[in-house]
Structure 1
Amino acid sequence: MAERQADACTMSSTPLLTQRLAAECTGTTALLAIVVGSGIMGERLAGGNDALALLGNTIATGAGLVVLIQIFAPVSGAHFNPAVTLMLAAQRLIDWHLAILYAAAQMAGAIFGVWLAHAMFAEPLLQISAKTRDGAPQGLAEFVATFGLIGTILGTQRARPDFTPAAIGLYITAAYWFTASTSFANPAVTIARSLSDTFAGIAPQSVTMFIAAQLAGALAALRFFTWLFNKDRPL
Protein backbone atom coordinates (compact mmCIF):
# COMPACT_ATOMS: atom_id res chain seq x y z
CA MET A 1 0.00 0.00 0.00
CA ALA A 2 2.83 2.37 0.92
CA GLU A 3 4.54 1.62 -2.38
CA ARG A 4 1.37 2.42 -4.32
CA GLN A 5 1.01 5.71 -2.46
CA ALA A 6 4.64 6.59 -3.23
CA ASP A 7 4.12 5.75 -6.92
CA ALA A 8 0.98 7.90 -7.02
CA CYS A 9 2.84 10.78 -5.38
CA THR A 10 5.67 10.49 -7.90
CA MET A 11 3.26 10.43 -10.83
CA SER A 12 1.32 13.44 -9.55
CA SER A 13 4.54 15.43 -9.08
CA THR A 14 5.65 14.89 -12.69
CA PRO A 15 4.67 17.91 -14.82
CA LEU A 16 2.30 17.26 -17.71
CA LEU A 17 3.55 17.73 -21.26
CA THR A 18 1.35 20.80 -21.64
CA GLN A 19 2.84 22.27 -18.46
CA ARG A 20 6.38 21.63 -19.69
CA LEU A 21 5.72 23.22 -23.07
CA ALA A 22 3.98 26.18 -21.42
CA ALA A 23 7.01 26.66 -19.17
CA GLU A 24 9.40 26.63 -22.13
CA CYS A 25 7.23 29.02 -24.12
CA THR A 26 6.60 31.42 -21.22
CA GLY A 27 10.19 31.37 -20.03
CA THR A 28 11.53 32.10 -23.50
CA THR A 29 8.94 34.85 -23.93
CA ALA A 30 10.18 36.48 -20.74
CA LEU A 31 13.81 36.05 -21.79
CA LEU A 32 13.30 37.85 -25.11
CA ALA A 33 11.23 40.57 -23.46
CA ILE A 34 14.19 41.13 -21.15
CA VAL A 35 16.81 41.06 -23.93
CA VAL A 36 14.96 43.31 -26.36
CA GLY A 37 13.25 45.50 -23.77
CA SER A 38 16.45 46.26 -21.86
CA GLY A 39 18.16 46.98 -25.18
CA ILE A 40 15.51 49.54 -26.07
CA MET A 41 15.61 51.10 -22.61
CA GLY A 42 19.40 51.15 -22.55
CA GLU A 43 19.64 52.81 -25.95
CA ARG A 44 17.04 55.44 -25.04
CA LEU A 45 18.73 56.36 -21.77
CA ALA A 46 22.38 56.10 -22.85
CA GLY A 47 22.39 59.27 -24.94
CA GLY A 48 24.26 57.67 -27.82
CA ASN A 49 26.79 55.84 -25.61
CA ASP A 50 26.68 52.28 -26.98
CA ALA A 51 28.88 50.93 -24.20
CA LEU A 52 26.46 52.19 -21.57
CA ALA A 53 23.50 50.80 -23.50
CA LEU A 54 25.21 47.41 -23.77
CA LEU A 55 26.01 47.43 -20.06
CA GLY A 56 22.34 47.92 -19.21
CA ASN A 57 21.35 45.21 -21.69
CA THR A 58 23.95 42.85 -20.19
CA ILE A 59 22.99 43.28 -16.53
CA ALA A 60 19.29 42.84 -17.21
CA THR A 61 19.83 39.72 -19.33
CA GLY A 62 22.20 38.00 -16.90
CA ALA A 63 20.05 38.75 -13.87
CA GLY A 64 16.85 37.79 -15.68
CA LEU A 65 18.27 34.45 -16.75
CA VAL A 66 19.05 33.47 -13.16
CA VAL A 67 15.51 34.24 -12.05
CA LEU A 68 13.81 32.57 -15.03
CA ILE A 69 15.81 29.36 -14.64
CA GLN A 70 14.95 29.22 -10.94
CA ILE A 71 11.25 29.65 -11.73
CA PHE A 72 10.85 27.22 -14.61
CA ALA A 73 13.54 24.57 -14.06
CA PRO A 74 11.33 22.42 -11.78
CA VAL A 75 8.70 22.22 -14.55
CA SER A 76 10.57 21.90 -17.85
CA GLY A 77 14.26 22.09 -17.06
CA ALA A 78 14.30 25.73 -18.24
CA HIS A 79 16.13 25.17 -21.52
CA PHE A 80 14.81 28.27 -23.36
CA ASN A 81 17.31 27.33 -26.09
CA PRO A 82 17.14 24.74 -28.91
CA ALA A 83 20.92 24.25 -28.65
CA VAL A 84 20.52 23.17 -25.01
CA THR A 85 17.59 20.93 -25.91
CA LEU A 86 19.63 19.38 -28.74
CA MET A 87 22.47 18.67 -26.32
CA LEU A 88 20.14 16.87 -23.90
CA ALA A 89 18.52 14.87 -26.70
CA ALA A 90 21.95 13.84 -27.98
CA GLN A 91 22.73 12.60 -24.46
CA ARG A 92 19.40 10.70 -24.46
CA LEU A 93 18.26 12.62 -21.41
CA ILE A 94 15.09 13.58 -23.31
CA ASP A 95 13.61 11.91 -26.38
CA TRP A 96 13.73 13.53 -29.81
CA HIS A 97 9.95 13.93 -30.05
CA LEU A 98 9.96 16.02 -26.87
CA ALA A 99 13.02 17.92 -28.09
CA ILE A 100 11.15 18.96 -31.26
CA LEU A 101 8.15 20.11 -29.21
CA TYR A 102 10.44 22.04 -26.86
CA ALA A 103 12.16 23.77 -29.79
CA ALA A 104 8.79 24.76 -31.27
CA ALA A 105 7.63 26.16 -27.91
CA GLN A 106 10.90 28.05 -27.50
CA MET A 107 10.63 29.54 -30.99
CA ALA A 108 7.04 30.67 -30.45
CA GLY A 109 7.92 32.10 -27.05
CA ALA A 110 10.90 33.99 -28.43
CA ILE A 111 8.78 35.70 -31.08
CA PHE A 112 6.08 36.54 -28.54
CA GLY A 113 8.77 38.03 -26.30
CA VAL A 114 10.00 40.36 -29.03
CA TRP A 115 6.46 41.52 -29.73
CA LEU A 116 5.84 42.01 -26.02
CA ALA A 117 8.94 44.20 -25.70
CA HIS A 118 7.86 46.24 -28.72
CA ALA A 119 4.40 46.74 -27.22
CA MET A 120 5.77 47.84 -23.85
CA PHE A 121 7.96 50.49 -25.47
CA ALA A 122 5.36 51.69 -28.01
CA GLU A 123 7.41 50.30 -30.92
CA PRO A 124 5.77 48.86 -34.06
CA LEU A 125 5.06 45.19 -33.34
CA LEU A 126 6.20 43.91 -36.73
CA GLN A 127 9.77 44.81 -37.60
CA ILE A 128 12.72 43.43 -39.54
CA SER A 129 16.19 44.21 -38.27
CA ALA A 130 18.66 46.09 -40.48
CA LYS A 131 21.63 45.48 -38.16
CA THR A 132 24.05 43.22 -40.04
CA ARG A 133 26.37 41.02 -38.00
CA ASP A 134 28.44 39.36 -40.71
CA GLY A 135 31.93 37.96 -41.09
CA ALA A 136 34.00 35.05 -39.81
CA PRO A 137 34.85 36.76 -36.49
CA GLN A 138 31.13 36.98 -35.66
CA GLY A 139 30.66 33.31 -36.51
CA LEU A 140 33.65 32.34 -34.39
CA ALA A 141 32.28 34.43 -31.53
CA GLU A 142 28.97 32.55 -31.64
CA PHE A 143 30.81 29.22 -31.72
CA VAL A 144 32.81 30.24 -28.64
CA ALA A 145 29.76 31.68 -26.87
CA THR A 146 27.71 28.51 -27.31
CA PHE A 147 30.65 26.21 -26.54
CA GLY A 148 31.11 28.03 -23.25
CA LEU A 149 27.40 28.01 -22.42
CA ILE A 150 27.11 24.25 -22.91
CA GLY A 151 30.32 23.74 -20.96
CA THR A 152 28.91 25.83 -18.12
CA ILE A 153 25.76 23.71 -18.01
CA LEU A 154 27.55 20.36 -18.21
CA GLY A 155 30.20 21.33 -15.67
CA THR A 156 27.89 22.78 -13.04
CA GLN A 157 25.25 20.07 -13.45
CA ARG A 158 27.97 17.53 -12.73
CA ALA A 159 29.60 19.25 -9.76
CA ARG A 160 27.22 21.94 -8.42
CA PRO A 161 23.72 21.56 -9.89
CA ASP A 162 22.29 24.08 -7.43
CA PHE A 163 24.70 26.69 -8.82
CA THR A 164 23.70 26.16 -12.47
CA PRO A 165 21.21 29.07 -12.73
CA ALA A 166 23.70 31.56 -11.31
CA ALA A 167 26.54 30.13 -13.40
CA ILE A 168 24.55 30.51 -16.61
CA GLY A 169 23.60 34.09 -15.77
CA LEU A 170 27.18 34.97 -14.91
CA TYR A 171 28.56 33.31 -18.03
CA ILE A 172 26.16 35.14 -20.35
CA THR A 173 26.95 38.41 -18.56
CA ALA A 174 30.65 37.87 -19.24
CA ALA A 175 30.13 36.60 -22.79
CA TYR A 176 28.20 39.74 -23.76
CA TRP A 177 31.54 41.52 -23.41
CA PHE A 178 34.24 39.05 -24.41
CA THR A 179 32.60 37.86 -27.65
CA ALA A 180 32.40 40.04 -30.77
CA SER A 181 28.78 38.97 -31.33
CA THR A 182 27.59 39.83 -27.78
CA SER A 183 26.79 36.15 -27.24
CA PHE A 184 23.42 35.23 -28.70
CA ALA A 185 24.28 31.51 -28.16
CA ASN A 186 20.68 30.51 -28.90
CA PRO A 187 18.99 29.76 -32.27
CA ALA A 188 15.51 30.79 -31.06
CA VAL A 189 16.87 34.08 -29.71
CA THR A 190 18.71 34.68 -32.98
CA ILE A 191 15.64 34.20 -35.16
CA ALA A 192 13.43 36.28 -32.87
CA ARG A 193 15.93 39.14 -32.69
CA SER A 194 15.85 39.37 -36.49
CA LEU A 195 12.26 40.58 -35.99
CA SER A 196 13.36 43.62 -33.96
CA ASP A 197 14.98 46.64 -35.59
CA THR A 198 16.22 47.86 -32.22
CA PHE A 199 19.46 47.77 -30.24
CA ALA A 200 19.33 43.96 -29.86
CA GLY A 201 18.45 43.20 -33.48
CA ILE A 202 20.22 41.10 -36.09
CA ALA A 203 19.59 41.32 -39.83
CA PRO A 204 17.93 38.22 -41.35
CA GLN A 205 20.88 37.64 -43.70
CA SER A 206 23.14 37.16 -40.66
CA VAL A 207 20.92 34.58 -38.98
CA THR A 208 22.02 31.47 -40.89
CA MET A 209 25.70 31.92 -40.02
CA PHE A 210 24.87 32.56 -36.36
CA ILE A 211 22.72 29.45 -36.02
CA ALA A 212 25.25 27.25 -37.83
CA ALA A 213 28.01 28.47 -35.50
CA GLN A 214 25.80 27.97 -32.43
CA LEU A 215 24.93 24.38 -33.33
CA ALA A 216 28.57 23.61 -34.15
CA GLY A 217 29.64 25.10 -30.82
CA ALA A 218 27.02 23.08 -28.91
CA LEU A 219 28.04 19.80 -30.53
CA ALA A 220 31.76 20.51 -30.06
CA ALA A 221 31.16 21.30 -26.39
CA LEU A 222 29.14 18.13 -25.90
CA ARG A 223 31.94 15.98 -27.34
CA PHE A 224 34.72 17.77 -25.48
CA PHE A 225 33.13 17.96 -22.05
CA THR A 226 31.76 14.41 -22.26
CA TRP A 227 35.33 13.27 -22.86
CA LEU A 228 36.74 15.59 -20.20
CA PHE A 229 34.39 14.39 -17.49
CA ASN A 230 34.61 10.69 -18.40
CA LYS A 231 36.12 9.01 -15.36
CA ASP A 232 36.66 5.75 -17.27
CA ARG A 233 39.02 7.26 -19.88
CA PRO A 234 42.63 5.95 -19.77
CA LEU A 235 45.15 8.29 -18.07
Structure 2
Amino acid sequence: MVRLCAAMSYAFTFHDAPLFALPSGALHWPDRDLLVVSDLHFGKSARAARHGGAALPPYETRETLLRLETDLDTTQARHVLCLGDSFDAPDIGAALPEEEQLWITRLQAGRGWTWIEGNHDPGPMNLGGSHLAQLTLGPLTFRHIATDTGRGEVSGHYHPKARLALRGRSLSRPCFLLDEHRLILPAYGAYTGGLFTQSAPLATLMQPKAQAILTGPTPCAIPMPR
Protein backbone atom coordinates (compact mmCIF):
# COMPACT_ATOMS: atom_id res chain seq x y z
CA MET A 1 0.00 0.00 0.00
CA VAL A 2 2.74 2.53 0.98
CA ARG A 3 5.35 3.25 -1.70
CA LEU A 4 7.99 5.63 -0.35
CA CYS A 5 8.84 8.39 2.09
CA ALA A 6 10.29 11.38 0.24
CA ALA A 7 11.27 14.89 1.24
CA MET A 8 8.45 17.45 1.04
CA SER A 9 5.68 14.89 0.50
CA TYR A 10 4.82 11.30 1.29
CA ALA A 11 3.82 9.13 -1.68
CA PHE A 12 1.48 6.18 -1.23
CA THR A 13 -1.15 4.25 -3.15
CA PHE A 14 -4.70 3.90 -1.87
CA HIS A 15 -7.17 1.75 -3.84
CA ASP A 16 -4.90 2.04 -6.91
CA ALA A 17 -4.85 5.85 -6.70
CA PRO A 18 -1.32 7.32 -6.40
CA LEU A 19 -1.54 10.04 -3.72
CA PHE A 20 0.77 12.43 -1.90
CA ALA A 21 0.43 13.59 1.70
CA LEU A 22 1.79 17.15 1.87
CA PRO A 23 3.57 18.68 4.91
CA SER A 24 0.60 21.00 5.50
CA GLY A 25 -1.96 18.21 5.84
CA ALA A 26 -3.32 18.56 2.30
CA LEU A 27 -3.71 15.55 -0.01
CA HIS A 28 -2.58 15.78 -3.65
CA TRP A 29 -3.87 13.47 -6.39
CA PRO A 30 -1.85 14.49 -9.46
CA ASP A 31 -3.63 12.13 -11.86
CA ARG A 32 -6.87 14.03 -11.12
CA ASP A 33 -5.15 17.44 -10.80
CA LEU A 34 -6.81 17.56 -7.37
CA LEU A 35 -5.89 19.09 -4.01
CA VAL A 36 -7.95 17.89 -1.04
CA VAL A 37 -8.13 19.70 2.31
CA SER A 38 -10.34 19.08 5.32
CA ASP A 39 -11.66 21.03 8.29
CA LEU A 40 -10.52 24.53 7.35
CA HIS A 41 -12.84 26.02 9.99
CA PHE A 42 -12.77 29.50 8.47
CA GLY A 43 -14.07 32.05 10.98
CA LYS A 44 -13.28 29.99 14.07
CA SER A 45 -12.05 33.00 16.05
CA ALA A 46 -15.10 35.06 15.07
CA ARG A 47 -17.47 32.31 16.15
CA ALA A 48 -15.64 31.84 19.46
CA ALA A 49 -15.80 35.57 20.18
CA ARG A 50 -19.49 35.70 19.29
CA HIS A 51 -20.34 32.95 21.75
CA GLY A 52 -18.00 33.98 24.56
CA GLY A 53 -15.52 31.16 23.97
CA ALA A 54 -11.76 31.12 24.38
CA ALA A 55 -9.99 34.03 22.71
CA LEU A 56 -8.17 32.97 19.54
CA PRO A 57 -5.84 34.98 17.29
CA PRO A 58 -8.07 36.92 14.84
CA TYR A 59 -5.93 36.05 11.82
CA GLU A 60 -6.47 32.27 11.77
CA THR A 61 -8.43 32.38 8.49
CA ARG A 62 -5.65 34.36 6.81
CA GLU A 63 -3.04 31.88 8.04
CA THR A 64 -5.08 29.00 6.61
CA LEU A 65 -5.59 30.81 3.29
CA LEU A 66 -1.86 31.51 3.01
CA ARG A 67 -1.13 27.81 3.58
CA LEU A 68 -3.70 26.87 0.94
CA GLU A 69 -2.34 29.39 -1.56
CA THR A 70 1.17 28.00 -1.06
CA ASP A 71 0.00 24.42 -1.68
CA LEU A 72 -1.87 25.50 -4.82
CA ASP A 73 1.21 27.32 -6.12
CA THR A 74 3.32 24.22 -5.43
CA THR A 75 0.97 21.60 -6.90
CA GLN A 76 -0.71 23.75 -9.58
CA ALA A 77 -3.88 21.75 -8.86
CA ARG A 78 -6.85 22.75 -11.02
CA HIS A 79 -9.52 21.37 -8.71
CA VAL A 80 -9.87 21.90 -4.96
CA LEU A 81 -12.01 19.62 -2.81
CA CYS A 82 -12.82 20.78 0.73
CA LEU A 83 -13.96 17.84 2.89
CA GLY A 84 -16.42 19.61 5.16
CA ASP A 85 -16.29 21.95 8.15
CA SER A 86 -14.70 24.49 5.85
CA PHE A 87 -16.56 27.13 7.87
CA ASP A 88 -16.96 27.06 11.62
CA ALA A 89 -20.70 27.85 11.45
CA PRO A 90 -23.33 27.94 8.66
CA ASP A 91 -23.42 31.75 8.48
CA ILE A 92 -19.73 32.49 8.97
CA GLY A 93 -18.87 32.66 5.25
CA ALA A 94 -20.84 35.86 4.76
CA ALA A 95 -19.43 37.30 7.98
CA LEU A 96 -15.78 36.94 6.98
CA PRO A 97 -13.95 40.21 6.34
CA GLU A 98 -14.17 41.35 2.72
CA GLU A 99 -10.43 40.84 2.29
CA GLU A 100 -10.76 37.16 3.21
CA GLN A 101 -13.81 36.63 1.00
CA LEU A 102 -11.94 38.16 -1.94
CA TRP A 103 -8.93 35.97 -1.18
CA ILE A 104 -11.11 32.84 -1.41
CA THR A 105 -12.61 34.13 -4.67
CA ARG A 106 -9.13 34.74 -6.07
CA LEU A 107 -8.04 31.19 -5.22
CA GLN A 108 -11.16 29.82 -6.91
CA ALA A 109 -10.54 31.69 -10.16
CA GLY A 110 -9.83 29.28 -13.02
CA ARG A 111 -10.28 26.20 -10.80
CA GLY A 112 -12.99 23.71 -10.06
CA TRP A 113 -13.95 24.06 -6.40
CA THR A 114 -16.13 21.68 -4.42
CA TRP A 115 -17.39 22.16 -0.87
CA ILE A 116 -18.38 18.88 0.82
CA GLU A 117 -20.92 19.49 3.56
CA GLY A 118 -19.80 19.00 7.16
CA ASN A 119 -21.49 19.05 10.53
CA HIS A 120 -20.48 22.71 11.05
CA ASP A 121 -21.49 23.86 7.54
CA PRO A 122 -24.34 21.70 6.23
CA GLY A 123 -25.68 24.27 3.76
CA PRO A 124 -24.35 25.95 0.58
CA MET A 125 -22.02 28.94 0.93
CA ASN A 126 -22.19 32.21 -0.99
CA LEU A 127 -18.57 31.96 -2.09
CA GLY A 128 -18.65 30.16 -5.42
CA GLY A 129 -17.99 26.54 -6.19
CA SER A 130 -20.35 23.57 -5.94
CA HIS A 131 -21.74 22.08 -2.72
CA LEU A 132 -22.21 18.31 -2.35
CA ALA A 133 -22.94 15.78 0.38
CA GLN A 134 -20.16 13.54 -0.99
CA LEU A 135 -18.25 12.96 -4.20
CA THR A 136 -16.98 9.81 -5.92
CA LEU A 137 -14.01 10.09 -8.27
CA GLY A 138 -12.79 6.83 -9.79
CA PRO A 139 -12.08 4.35 -6.95
CA LEU A 140 -12.37 6.93 -4.15
CA THR A 141 -15.35 8.40 -2.32
CA PHE A 142 -14.90 11.70 -0.50
CA ARG A 143 -17.12 12.61 2.46
CA HIS A 144 -16.81 14.48 5.74
CA ILE A 145 -17.20 11.67 8.29
CA ALA A 146 -15.87 8.13 7.89
CA THR A 147 -18.36 5.27 7.92
CA ASP A 148 -18.05 1.76 9.34
CA THR A 149 -18.65 0.22 5.91
CA GLY A 150 -16.68 2.63 3.72
CA ARG A 151 -14.29 1.28 1.11
CA GLY A 152 -11.91 3.57 -0.74
CA GLU A 153 -13.19 6.30 1.55
CA VAL A 154 -11.44 9.65 2.13
CA SER A 155 -12.75 11.79 4.97
CA GLY A 156 -11.88 14.29 7.70
CA HIS A 157 -13.87 15.41 10.76
CA TYR A 158 -11.77 13.87 13.55
CA HIS A 159 -8.66 16.11 13.30
CA PRO A 160 -6.37 13.12 14.06
CA LYS A 161 -3.14 13.70 16.00
CA ALA A 162 -0.40 11.20 16.85
CA ARG A 163 1.18 11.33 20.31
CA LEU A 164 4.70 9.92 20.50
CA ALA A 165 7.23 9.31 23.25
CA LEU A 166 10.69 10.43 22.16
CA ARG A 167 13.68 10.41 24.53
CA GLY A 168 11.45 10.72 27.54
CA ARG A 169 9.36 13.51 26.07
CA SER A 170 5.80 13.41 24.75
CA LEU A 171 5.35 14.94 21.31
CA SER A 172 2.24 15.29 19.17
CA ARG A 173 1.68 16.06 15.52
CA PRO A 174 -1.39 16.18 13.23
CA CYS A 175 -1.50 13.15 10.98
CA PHE A 176 -3.27 11.32 8.19
CA LEU A 177 -4.66 7.92 9.15
CA LEU A 178 -4.54 5.14 6.58
CA ASP A 179 -5.72 1.56 6.51
CA GLU A 180 -6.93 -0.84 3.84
CA HIS A 181 -10.38 0.77 3.55
CA ARG A 182 -10.18 4.41 4.59
CA LEU A 183 -8.00 7.49 4.68
CA ILE A 184 -8.69 10.24 7.24
CA LEU A 185 -7.12 13.66 6.74
CA PRO A 186 -5.85 15.95 9.50
CA ALA A 187 -7.48 19.32 10.08
CA TYR A 188 -6.00 21.88 7.69
CA GLY A 189 -7.18 25.01 9.49
CA ALA A 190 -5.07 26.94 11.98
CA TYR A 191 -5.92 26.52 15.69
CA THR A 192 -8.26 23.59 15.09
CA GLY A 193 -7.03 21.22 17.81
CA GLY A 194 -7.21 17.47 17.36
CA LEU A 195 -8.14 14.01 18.60
CA PHE A 196 -5.36 11.63 19.59
CA THR A 197 -5.23 8.35 17.70
CA GLN A 198 -5.51 6.39 20.96
CA SER A 199 -8.96 7.90 21.55
CA ALA A 200 -12.32 6.51 20.55
CA PRO A 201 -13.64 6.42 17.90
CA LEU A 202 -10.33 6.45 15.99
CA ALA A 203 -8.86 3.52 17.94
CA THR A 204 -11.86 1.37 17.02
CA LEU A 205 -12.55 2.77 13.55
CA MET A 206 -9.09 2.13 12.12
CA GLN A 207 -7.87 -1.41 11.41
CA PRO A 208 -5.07 -2.98 13.51
CA LYS A 209 -2.37 -2.39 10.88
CA ALA A 210 -3.34 1.26 10.27
CA GLN A 211 -0.60 3.81 9.71
CA ALA A 212 -0.27 7.42 10.79
CA ILE A 213 1.38 9.72 8.24
CA LEU A 214 2.84 12.55 10.27
CA THR A 215 2.64 16.08 8.91
CA GLY A 216 5.59 18.42 9.07
CA PRO A 217 8.62 19.34 6.93
CA THR A 218 9.18 15.71 5.89
CA PRO A 219 5.96 13.69 6.21
CA CYS A 220 6.59 10.06 7.10
CA ALA A 221 4.51 7.03 8.11
CA ILE A 222 4.61 5.11 11.39
CA PRO A 223 2.31 2.46 12.84
CA MET A 224 -0.74 4.25 14.19
CA PRO A 225 -0.16 4.86 17.96
CA ARG A 226 -2.74 2.99 20.06
TM-score, length-scaled by structure 1: 0.26
Query: Which of the pair is proportionally richer in helix?
Result: 1
TM-score, length-scaled by structure 2: 0.27
Query: Which of the pair is proportionally richer in strand?
Result: 2
